[in-house]
Structure 1
Amino acid sequence: MMPHLLLLLCFPPAVASLFCYTCVFPAISPLDCIRFPLKCPPGQVCLSSRAVGQKGDLRVVLYEKSCVLPALCGVTGEKFALGLNFTFINECCNTHLCNAAGRPAGPPLWTALLPLLALGSAW
């Protein structure tokens, strides 16, 4: 048996961990996520999720990036946050930092929340 093959049988190559961008909390801009690369646990891939919530004229878009199990890839659904129902889409990729930030999809959250803050202060 060749020495290299014997080494591979005794010491299989280590599976390299994947690094993905992550947001500690869902962010209002995908650019907020690029500061936090994270080493994923083995078997996980990079997630990029976008959730859109709307109530009347108020439209809020939240972004989430992290490491997830492949079973959560391609999943769509709804979640409730900030008093709004959000529709989300999970997209995954499997190369280092492949879930890089895209361009923001609208005005910052604080501009969308100004009318709500004004209503709250009028009470």
Structure 2
Amino acid sequence: MMEKLLHPLLLLCLLPAAVSLFCYTCVFPAISPLDCIRFPLKCPPGQLCLSSRAVGQRGDFRVVLYEKSCVLPALCGVTGEKYTMGLNFTFTNECCNTHLCNRAATPASPYWTATVLTLLAVGSAW
């Protein structure tokens, strides 16, 4: 009887408490259409891979930022606003749960050339 209980308990002890994913993370956020400089990172147990997209616009001036990292599941599917670079950005977080699943680059914005040039001009004026 004791032997029948020992085998399942032994198997449970050998299983990891939570599996850690490897996700891409960005060295710094990227401005569309450039993909971020990314590298694989082992996430803490229980975290998922994140791909976040933030859009900021003032008149014809539009900036799209992309970010990749590890994140707690509570932040997945979240949308909201954040203020940076003098603009209000609306962001969307999307998560996935397989190794390096946040690899895909987001499609380029048609405004990328004007966005990058304007951002550089505005940044030097501040």
TM-score w.r.t. structure 1 length?
A: 0.80
How far did residue 41 of structure 1 move?
0.2
Q: Which runs of 5+ in 1 are unaligned?
A: none
How far did residue 52 of structure 1 move?
0.2
Question: Is 2:11 aligned against 1:8?
Answer: yes
The one of 22, 31, 36 equivalent to 1:32 is 36
**1:104/1:13 Cα in 2 relative to 1: closer, same or farther (>3 Å)?**
same
How far did residue 28 of structure 1 move?
1.3
Q: Which runs of 5+ in 2 are unaligned?
A: none
The share of aligned pairs that are identical, in percent, is: 69
The one of 69, 87, 92 equivalent to 1:89 is 92
Question: Is 2:116 aligned against 1:113?
Answer: no
Alpha carbon RMSD of aligned pairs, Å? 2.4
TM-score w.r.t. structure 2 length?
A: 0.78
Q: Are the equivalent residues in 2 in contact too, given 1:60–1:112 (CA < 8 A)? A: no
Q: Which moved more, 1:72-81 or 1:14-23?
A: 14-23
The one of 77, 81, 87 equivalent to 2:80 is 77
Local SS of the residue matching 1:97: coil
Structure 1 ranges of 4+ moved more than 3 A: 1-7, 114-118
Question: Is 2:61 aligned against 1:58?
Answer: yes
